[in-house]
Amino acid sequence: MPEALHEPFEDIASQRSAEQAGIWIFLASEAVFFGGLFLGYAVYRHRYPEAFAEALGETNLVLGSVNTALLLVSSATMALAVWAGRAGARRLTTAALVATLVLGLAFLGVKGVEYAEDIRHHLVPGHPDFPVDRLGAEMFFSFYWAMTGLHGLHMAIGLGIIGWTAHAVAQERIAWRETAHLHVVALYWNLVDMVWIFLFPLLYLVGRG
Amino acid sequence: MAERSQTRMILRAALLCVAMLALAASSVAAALLLGGWAGTLVPLGIACATAAIVAVGFMEVPHLDAVSAISAALALALVAVLFGLTFTDELTRAHIPPGFGGMAPGEVSTE
């Protein structure tokens, strides 16, 4: 098992505290980054409410709902990995990390199917056969592609880290019991999950009724 | 003892997961059944409740140390300022008369 304590820290509690503070500062910058995108969406939704509602009707509610369920379950399995890690349960920690990885990959797979369907239906801003003939509708899909694309990129990065962590925990290559490694990974994954929790109503639900 | 503790962890995760899935299902139902402002506000309110479960249950926000709590609070404050200032401009710009050099939201220039 590798050494848990690293320089310049004198005790593991200070190191854990610094690890946690570091990820929270990063998450804060991410929140502001996505906040700008949500703000842009809100401004244009305010300007073109009918166009946004009509364009939203073109997104696939079933696939969006399936993906929401996958991501919510993955958030729970990731939290389980943290709790099991604190208890020193290596098998449960690894199993929960692998479950999170599988659920995340399933999310990206479903998203890929959805993207293919969107392209087949010409739901691409600037496409000559764009199906909604209303000023502002293409703006909705500009946000749709930008926001889901950036979210997907964050997911792909998170899945890479989770996959590596699962392997490292299984092989005892990191000091997963003592350090905040699992908690830091989980916090990043939870933020990705939280972004989707707000993307789902804004891109699939609001105005559909 | 260890097995019982692990079972408790799994049950806790499952319980929170079921609560979030139930909220997600209710937001879909609300969006399909409710129109107007309710169809907008209810799904967004449910999203806030779901996010609160993630923040409290998984991210352990109530137990943050000072630096982490300040970072989280600053992020929220910055986003609030972004929204506040932008919408102050957006909502008041609609009241500028066209001859005053402004265009109403959605208005397309004919020049």
Q: Convert the pLDDT of each residue in A178-187 to its tens digit.
A: 888 999 999 9
pLDDT, residue A175, reads 83
Dig out the tokens for B26 from the structure: 């209710």
Whether A4 is covered by a domain: the verdict is: no
Rounded Cα distance, A117 and A194, in Å: 25
Quick check: B24 and A28 CB within 8 A? no
Whether A7 is covered by a domain: the verdict is: no
Of the candidate ranges A122-126, A161-165, A176-180, B81-85, the one whose mean pLDDT is the lowest: A176-180
Minimal-distance CA residue of chain A relative to B67: A21
Q: Are A208 and A65 in contact (CB under 8 A)?
A: no
Of the residues A70, A203, A206, the best mutation for testing chain B's interface (the one with the most B CB atoms within 10 Å of its CB) is A206
DSSP string, chain B: -HHHHHHHHHHHHHHHHHHHHHHHHHHHHHHHH--HHHHHHHHHHHHHHHHHHIIIIIS-GGG--HHHHHHHHHHHHHHHHHHHHHHHHHHHHTTS-GGGT---TT-----
Rounded Cα distance, B78 and B41, in Å: 23
Q: Is B108 on the interface with A (CB under 8 A)?
A: yes
Whether A5 is covered by a domain: the verdict is: no
**Domain count across chain A:** 1
Residue A169 to residues A78, A84, A88, A129, B75, Cα–Cα distance (Å) = 14, 12, 11, 50, 32
Q: Is the pLDDT of residue B1 over 80?
A: no
| Residue numbers in B near A78 (CB within 8 A) | 58
Q: Which residues, at least 6 apart from B57, have a Cβ–Cβ distance to it below 8 Å?
A: A79, B16
Whether A2 is covered by a domain: the verdict is: no
What is the rounded average pLDDT of the residues B83-104? 75
Whether A6 is covered by a domain: the verdict is: no
Quick check: A43 and B51 CB within 8 A? no
The whole-angstrom distance between B68's CA and the closest CA on chain A is: 5
Q: Is B106 on the interface with A (CB under 8 A)?
A: yes
Tokens 């140390």 sit at which residue? B65
Please report, for the domain that includes residue A89, its CATH number.
Answer: 1.20.120.80
What is the rounded average pLDDT of the residues B67-95? 91
Whether A133 is covered by a domain: the verdict is: yes
Whether A3 is covered by a domain: the verdict is: no
A87 class by beta-carbon count within 10 Å (0-12 exposed, 13-18 middle, 19+ buried): middle
| Residue numbers in A near B21 (CB within 8 A) | 69, 72-73
Whether A17 is covered by a domain: the verdict is: yes
Rounded Cα distance, A60 and B33, in Å: 17
pLDDT, residue A122, reads 96
Q: Is the pLDDT of residue A3 over 90?
A: no
| Residue numbers in B near A29 (CB within 8 A) | 75
Domain that residue A182 falls in = 12-205
